[in-house]
Structures are given as structure tokens and as C-alpha cells.
Amino acid sequence: MSQYLRKNIAALAAYVPGEQPRDGGYVKLNTNENPYPPSPRVLTAVRKATNLSLRLYPEPTADTLRTLAASTYGVEVENILAGNGSDELLSMLIRCLVGPGDPVVYPVPTYSLYDTLIAIQDGEKVEIPFGADFSLPAEIFSHRAPLTFVCNPNSPSGTLVSLQEIERLARAVSGILVVDEAYIDFADVEGCSAIPLIQSFSNIVVLRSFSKSFSLAGMRIGLAFAAREIIAGMIKVKDSYNVTRLSLVAAAAALQDIPWMKRNVRRIQRSRHRLTRGLKKLGFQIYPAQANFVMARMPARTLRGLYEELKRRKILVRYFATPGLEDSLRISVGTDEEIKILLREIEEIEGRPVAGGREEEARSKEGQAAMDEHIDTDTP
């Protein structure tokens, strides 16, 4: 039946999300879900909204939520758009800005959904490799493209680009710079969000998600922050009623209990430090993470086997069969008990507390020191 599809769609390699097993009993550290529940206010609000009003369409432009978000983040209502997750907002932006053959620039490795969305529009992806320390590559500042993506903190590395570098890039690019901040709430660096920059840069779009820090992955809701002209353009291509009534209620209630979210974030930051410390003791090189996951690396060794053995033991982590990432696992920060189980099982699989002999251990420590020297901003 593929002859009926557009050629680029027929040839498209679809995005593959993390596994969602139907049976229970897994230690699930593969999709960066928050291990802690959303605010009780969210649950109360959703229960209250589960009534006969479900027969009615939701607000077309989510005005109640946008008003709350404008107050929370210090912008105007016209600077915000709600989407069915930040993934839908990414799709809107590419539909607005990218046509056949148009280049879209971004550093790699990063969120692989960008590839899929560009291919759907028949655009041209321009991938620029990150440096060893995951700082922005110099080449990204010189490209002339309608759209540039920076995932910040980046996935799968978890590393953070400074706000000063984001501002410098916004000045350099000729088109729109999208700063994908799905994980920014987990950073322990103050004032690192690019949302304030939309006041002085008309070409910056900042994306936020309720899936991670607000524990609402099941509700699928995100926000875009940008100049009102860009938001107005995105509204033209969105679905008529793109966010459900219950999702809007949940997100509004979450914004009314920011302290709950921040408490959960602090718990995850502390657990992230424990996970990082434990993995280093097991011989992994760890990039300093500012997200709710870490990237664990064993250079010159494929970690597919370790991923598969952990899965056999009902522990899910993320392995990417991507050039340059074969020696890495992305591990979500779970509860302290889940982290304890993960570390114990890895130690048992590896057969010794530190992988490899003295020479390999020395190389691992040398590589870790190089990472820490360049980008170590992770604190307890």
C-alpha cells in the first residue's frame, strides 16, 4: 500500500519512543518519567472536572491555562500557546517554517524526533556534531537556516548550554531559534531558562513540557513561549481543539502548586547525585547532568548487551543504536530504591565493582576527569 503515500513518508524511519511494558514489575528508567506523583491539587481538579462537561469541546486556545502561565512565567498571554505535549508544538513550528528542501540545523546527538518531523515536511536536516564536552559547536553559529533547534538540557547527554550561549546563538542565526526546555526545571543552575529572552529577541521560541517536572506525562501538554507574531502563526496550523479539557484542568492546577513540583525536583536532584556517584564507582564515565536522567558511557565498548541483560532482569534503561552512542546508556533518575536496585544489578552483571582491569579503570578515571574539568556543574 506504500505506493499511495508520499515518497518521503514511505521512506521515513518512524520515531521510536521508549518501551512502555503492559505487564508490571519493571524498574522503569527508560523514558524520563517523574517517579513521584503530581500535586494533589491536580488529582482533585481532574476528578472534579470528570463530569457531564466532557461532552463539550475544550477552550480552543486554552485561554485559562495561558493566563495562569503568563502570570507564572512573567510574559503576556499572547506570548504563549498550549499544545498536546511539546512534541505537537515542535510539529506546529516545522509546519509553519519548513518546506521541501529547507534546512533545519541542530547539534547532535540530540532528541531524534527532530529528524522525523523534518522528514515529514521534506526538509533537510543539518546535523552538527557536539564537541566532546557537549558545548555548542562553532559551526552552528554560521548557518543560514529558517530553523535551528537546541535541546537544553540536551537529551541524551543531560548537559546544559549557558543562557549567554543561547543569547549569542540567537544573535547569530538568521531564522528562528527553538530552545527545547523539556528538562530545564531539573537544572540546579539559577536563571538558566531562555523564556526571558523572548522579550528582547523576536526569533526565539522556548518550549516547555508538563510531562517531566510536573509529573503529567499521561496528560500530554506543553507550552510554547515566543513573540506574539510567531504564536499567531502557530495558531493558524494547530488543530481546532488540540488540548483536552482534562489536560487543561490538570496543567492549570499544576501551575497553582509550584512548590509541590519544586519539592519533587529537589528529590530528583539529590537522587541524580547518588546515581551519578554510584555509576562512576562502577566504571562509567558520566556527563554532568542537569536533567532527570544521566548518560553513562563506557568508551570503546557497546552497551547493547548490558541493556538487554538489564531488560531480562526487568530493569528498563534506554539504549540508542546510533553512531557515537553505542557505548552509552541513558538512565532516568528513579526513586532511591530503584537506583539501588539498578546499581546492584549492574554490579552483579559486570561481576566486579569496577568494570575492567587497572589499565581500563585508569582510562575511565582519566576520561571522567576530562568531562568534569569542562562541564562539571552537577552538585549534591
Q: Where in the chain is the domain with CATH 3.40.640.10?
A: 40-257
Give the pTM.
0.91
Statement: 40-257 belongs to CATH 3.40.50.300: no
In the CATH scheme, what is the homologous superfamily, with its name and number, of domain 2-33+260-375?
A: Aspartate Aminotransferase, domain 1 (3.90.1150.10)
- Please tell me the predicted confidence (pLDDT) of residue 377: 37
- Please tell me the predicted confidence (pLDDT) of residue 104: 98
- Please tell me the predicted confidence (pLDDT) of residue 353: 54
- Please tell me the predicted confidence (pLDDT) of residue 371: 55
- Please tell me the predicted confidence (pLDDT) of residue 17: 85
Q: Where in the chain is the domain with CATH 3.90.1150.10?
A: 2-33+260-375
The mean pLDDT values, 10 residues at a time, for the chain of 380 residues are: 84 86 91 98 98 97 98 98 98 97 97 96 96 94 95 97 97 97 96 97 98 98 98 97 98 98 98 97 95 96 96 96 92 98 96 49 52 41
- Please tell me the predicted confidence (pLDDT) of residue 1: 62
- Please tell me the predicted confidence (pLDDT) of residue 135: 95
Q: Which three cell numbers stand for residue 76?
A: 503576556
- Please tell me the predicted confidence (pLDDT) of residue 18: 87
